[in-house]
Chain A
Amino acid sequence: MSATLTPPAAAPPTPDQPGRDGPGRSIASIPRWAWALGVVVLWVGIWALTKGTDTLALAGREHTDVQTSLGRFRDDVLAGRADNPVIQLTYDLGAWFTSVVDWLQRMLSVPDFPRPVPQVGWLGVTAVATWVGLAVAGWRIAVLVAASFVSFGVFGYWSEAIDLLIVTFVAVGVSVLIGMPLAVLVGTGNRAVNAVTNTVLDIFQTMPTFVYLLPIVLFFGIGAAGAVVCTLVYALPPIIRIAGHGIRNVSTTTIEATDSAGQTWWQRLTKVQLPMARKTIVVGLNQTIMAALSMATIASYVDGPGLGQPVLDALVKNDVGGAFVPGALIVVMAVMLDRSTTAASEYSEMAARGGLDLRLRRIVLAAAAVPVLVALHLSRTYPWAAELDDPGWTPKVADAVDGFFEWFTDTFRDATQAFKDLVSAVLLNPLQSLLSESPWWLAGGAILALAFVVGGLRAVAPTVVCLGGLLYFGLWHDAMVTLNMTLVGTVLVMLLAVVLGVAMARSRAVDVVLRPTLDAGQTIPPFVYLIPVLALFGPTRFTAIVAGVVYAAPVAIKLVADGVRAVSPSTIEAGRSTGSTRWQEIVKVQLPMARASLVLAANQGLLYVLAMAVIGGLVGAGALGYDVVLGFARSEEWGKGAAAGISIVLLGIMVDRIARAAAHRSGAPAAR
C-alpha cells in the first residue's frame, strides 16, 4: 500500500462530547476509556475461565469447506481456460499489453535484434528525459532527472530501470484512462455510488498483492502482461479516490454560477470541474505513479520486467548488498517521479498565470533541443553512447553495504534480541494469548463491544459484518494473531510518530534530515531490508512487526508532523504567555490540538502495518500472512490463501470503519 490519502488539515479540537449514540448517553458521567477498560476486564475474566476452547484454530494443511470451494473455483477456471471466452478476451488484452511493453523495451531498454542495442541508447534516452524535465518542470527538475538516469546507467541497472519505468507508465496510462471517468463518476455521483466505490476501493487497497497476483496471471498471463495488470489494479484507487474527491469539492457556488449561464453537463465538467480540481487531480496522479512504482517491483514475482528482479534475485542469495543497489535505485526513481510531477504541476500553473516568460522559455527549449538531437543521433550510431560501460561501482557499494550490515548486526544483535524478547513478553504474548486463545464468541463479542464503546452505533454494523466474514472464511484464529501483531505494530508506529513528528514540527533541521529518509522508507521494497532485520530479530513475529513499522512509520510521522505544525501559532503563543514549559507546551497544547492528525495517523499506520502482514508471513510471523504465502506457493492451498487474503481485507475494513466512526464521534474529520 502507499500513501494514497491526502491528509486533511488539522481541525480545531472540539471538547469531548458525550457520546451521541454510544453508551455515554445513558450514563454520561462515565468516560469512554472507563467503559473500554470495563470491557477488557470482563474479557480477561471470562478468558481466564474459557481459555483455549473454541479458538477455531486450523492446523497447517487443513481446509474448511469454504476454502476448498474457493480452491475448486480456481481449478475450474484453470481447467476451462482454453475455451472460456472471458479468459480468451483477457488473454488477448494481456497479449496487447505485452506487445506494447515489448515494443517500448526494444526502443529503449533491450537490444532490438539484429541491433546489438536498443533503438535509442542511454545517452539519447537520458537527454530526451532531461529535456522533457526542463520543458515541463524547469531546470532544477531537469538536473534531477539527468542525475537519476545517469545513476541507473552507472550502477549497471540501465535496462532494468527503464523496464520498470515502462511498466509503471503503461500501467499509469491505463489507470488514468480507466480511473478518470470513474473519478468523474465518484465526483459527480450520488451518495450510493460513493459508498459502493469507496468500499470497492478499500478492498483493492487492503487486499494483499500476493492474493491477486495468481488470479491475474491466470487471466492475463505471465510477464509484462501480468505485471501491467497487477500494477494497474493497485494504482487505480488513488486516482479515482483523490481526483473524485477533488471534483466533488469544487466550489458549489461556482458550479451554480456557471450552471446559471446555461452550460451543458459536458461543459460543466470540462470547463469548470476538471480545471478547478486540477491540483487535486495532480496529487492523485502523483499517488498513482507512486503506487504503480511500488507494485511494479513486486510484479517481478510473475516475471514482470524491472528493478524488482535484481532485488528478488539478491534475496534468493541472502545478498543484502546486492539487493541494496537496485533497491536504492527504486528510491531514486520514486523521488524523481514524485518531485517531477509535483513540480510540473506548479510550473504549468505558473506558466498559465503568466509567471514565466514564454518567449524565453521557447528559446531555451529550442536551444536545448539541439544537443538532445545530437545525443539521440549518437546513441543510435555509436556503441559507447548506446551502452554505458559499467564502471564496476555496484559490487563495491554492495560490499560496503554488506560490511556495514554485518558490523551493525554483530554489534547490536544482543540489544535487539533483548528488546524483541521484552516486547514479546510484556506486550505481544499476553495480548496474543488474550485474542487468539479466547473462544471465538468471546473475542468477537469483546471486539464488538469495544467498537461500540469507541465508535458508537455507527461502528457496529461494519464490525459485525467483518467479524462474520472472518468466521465464514474459517481463519479466525490466524486472524486474531495477525490482529495482535498489527495492534502492537501500530503502537510502535505511533510512538515513533509522536516523538519524531513533534521533533520534525518543532525543528526545521530535523525535518530536513528526516524527510528524505522517510521517503526512502516508504518506497524501498521491503525485500531489501528484510535480511538485516531478520539477522537482528530472527524469524519471528517481531521481524514482521519491524517490517510493518518501517513501512508505516513514515506516513504516520509525516501526518503527525504536519498536524502539529498546523497548530496555530497564536494558540502556542497564548500557551507560552502563561509560562508553560516546553514539555507542557507539547503535551498540553500541540498534541491535543493535533488530535485529528493523530487519529488519522493511527488509522493509516494500522492499515499500513496490516498491508505488510504478508511480508510478515515470509519472515516467520505465521498467521494470515503465512497462509497467503502458502496459497501463493502451493496450488492445493490456493483456497486457503485466498481466504486469508480476504480475511486481511476484512480486518482492514473493520479497523478502518471503527476508527472513522470514533473520529466522527469526537468531531475530528473522518479519515478520508
Chain B
Amino acid sequence: MSVATEKETAAATSAESALSVRNLWKIFGPRADRIIGTPDAQLSRAELKAKTGCVAGVKDVSFEVAPGEVFVVMGLSGSGKSTLVRCLTRLIEPTAGSVLIDGIDVTTASDAQLRDLRRNRVSMVFQHFGLLPHRQVIDNIAYGLEIRGMKKKERRAKAEEVVSLVGLDGFSHSYPDQLSGGMQQRVGLARALAGDPSILLFDEPFSALDPLIRRDMQNEVIRLHRDLRKTMVFITHDLQEALKLGDRILIMRDGEIVQIGRPDEVVGAPVDDYVRDFVSEVPRSHVLTLKWVMREPRPDDSMDGPVMSCDTIVRQAAKAALASEHPVRVVEGDRVIGIVDDDAILRVVVAEEEAHQ
C-alpha cells in the first residue's frame, strides 16, 4: 500500500472514527523538528541517538479508532506507548503529524480549544494514579468538574454517582493514602468517567496492581465498556490484558508500528519474530477463532455437525465440537466457509499444553 492511498483511506474513515492519528512523530531532544523529513528520520532509534542526541519516541504512527472500540496499544518497555498516548491530547507536544478527535484537529487546537477537549471529550487514567493526596476521594473524582466551574453541590452529586459506578461506595470521604492500590485506581477511573468523556485513555492503569486485583479491574473495565460503550485507548505491556480487552491491538517497537490487528489476527498471523515472540506464550485456544483453524469445506464433509460462527473462539467451541461426532461447520452469515474437525481443535489445545510445560 502506498502512502498516498493510506492517507486517502484515513481521510475517508476519519469522518466516522472517534480518533484518527496520522503520521504522528515525537522526537525528544534539541531541534527535533529539523530531523523529520531528512534521511536521519529513517535511522533506527539507536543510530539517531548516536548521531543527533535525539530520541525518537514515536515514529510515523497512523491509525484509526472507531467509536465504541477498545483499541489496545502494546509493546515492550520503552517502545513509546506512553509517549504516543500523551501526544493524543498534547500532554506531550507532538513533533509532527496530526491527531483528530471527533473530527477536531488536536494538533492545531488553541489552548482554549485544547482545554475544552480535555475537559469534555477525553479523559485519561494513569499507571501511578496521579491522585491529589490533599483531597478526599469525592473531591478527587469531582476535580474535572470543579475546574470546569461546576458548583460544589452539583459536582459532588455527580461524583457520588460515579463513586457507586466504580464500586467505591462508602469511601467518598477517605483520603487517597487510606485506600489500597486497587481502590486508588478505581478513584482514577472514576475521575476519568466523571466528566462523561467520549474517549477514555488508559496508560498501563493496572501494572502497579497485584494479579488478582488486576483481574478484577480488567473485568470492571469490560463491564463499564459494556454499559457505557465509550471509546477506549488502552496501553499495556501485558499481552493477556491486551487480548482480553482489545477489539484491536497495535503492537509497537522502538516507536514504530509493527502490527495492527484483531487479537486473533495478531496471534494467528504474527508479522515478524518480535510479535511471534510476544504471542508465543498465549493460550491460543483462548484467542483464536474457528476461522484460524478451519479448513476448506470438502464435498465429502458431513453436513450433520453443529454450526458455529467463524468468530467463535476455539475454546468455547471445543466442548460442543468434541462432543459431536461430526465436524463443525463454520459459517459467516449464512454461508458455510469452512470445516473444523476434532483434530484441528486438539492440535491447538495440545500445542498449548506443550508450550506450558
Contacts and interface: CB of A to CB of B under 8 A. Distances in A.
A257 B118 contact: no
Interface in B109-152: 114-120, 122-124, 126-134, 143-144, 146-148
A26 interface: no
Given A271-B147, A353-B175, A256 B129 contact: no
Contact of B147 (A251, A261, A354): A261
B91 interface: yes
Given A256-B126, A257-B124, A257-B188, A262 B118 contact: yes
B116 A258 contact: no
Contacts, number: 72
B115 A262 contact: yes
A361 B122 CA distance: 44
A203 interface: no
A253 B116 contact: no
B147 A254 contact: no
A256 B130 contact: yes
A226 B133 CA distance: 42
A276 B114 CA distance: 25
B79 interface: no
Interface secondary structure of A, over-half rule? helix
Contacts of A260: 89, 91, 118, 122-124, 201
B195 interface: yes
B191 interface: yes
Sort chain B's interface into a size bin: 20 to 34
A257 B128 CA distance: 9
A271 B143 CA distance: 9
B194 to A, nearest CB: 9
Contacts of A261: 118-119, 123, 143-144, 147, 191, 195
Contacts of A276: 132-134
A354 B136 CA distance: 11
Nearest to A267: B147
Interface string B245-275: 0000000000000000000000000000000
Contacts of A264: 115, 147
A352 B126 contact: no
A275 interface: yes
Sort chain A's interface into a size bin: 20 to 34
A253 B129 contact: yes
A256 B132 contact: no
Interface string A249-278: 001011111111111100100011001101
A255 B129 CA distance: 11
Contacts of A263: 115, 147
B132 A275 contact: yes
A161 to B, nearest CB: 36
A487 B201 CA distance: 58
A267 B144 CA distance: 11
Interface string A233-252: 00000000000000000010
Nearest to B115: A262
Contacts of A258: 130, 132, 143, 147
A255 B91 CA distance: 10
Contacts of B114: 262
Contact of A259 (B91, B128, B146, B201): B91
Contacts of B116: 262
A259 B118 CA distance: 8
A587 B173 CA distance: 50
B195 A253 contact: no
Contacts of B86: 256
B235 to A, nearest CB: 13
Nearest to B133: A276
B134 A262 contact: no
A609 B195 CA distance: 57
A253 B132 contact: no
Given A261-B143, A262-B119, 19 more contacts: A251-B128, A253-B126, A253-B128, A255-B130, A256-B86, A257-B130, A258-B147, A260-B123, A261-B191, A261-B195, A262-B115, A262-B144, A267-B147, A271-B132, A271-B143, A272-B132, A275-B134, A276-B132, A352-B134
5 contacts: A251-B128, A256-B91, A262-B116, A271-B143, A278-B134
The 9 closest A-B pairs by CB, nearest first: A257-B130, A262-B118, A262-B119, A261-B144, A253-B130, A260-B124, A262-B115, A254-B130, A253-B128
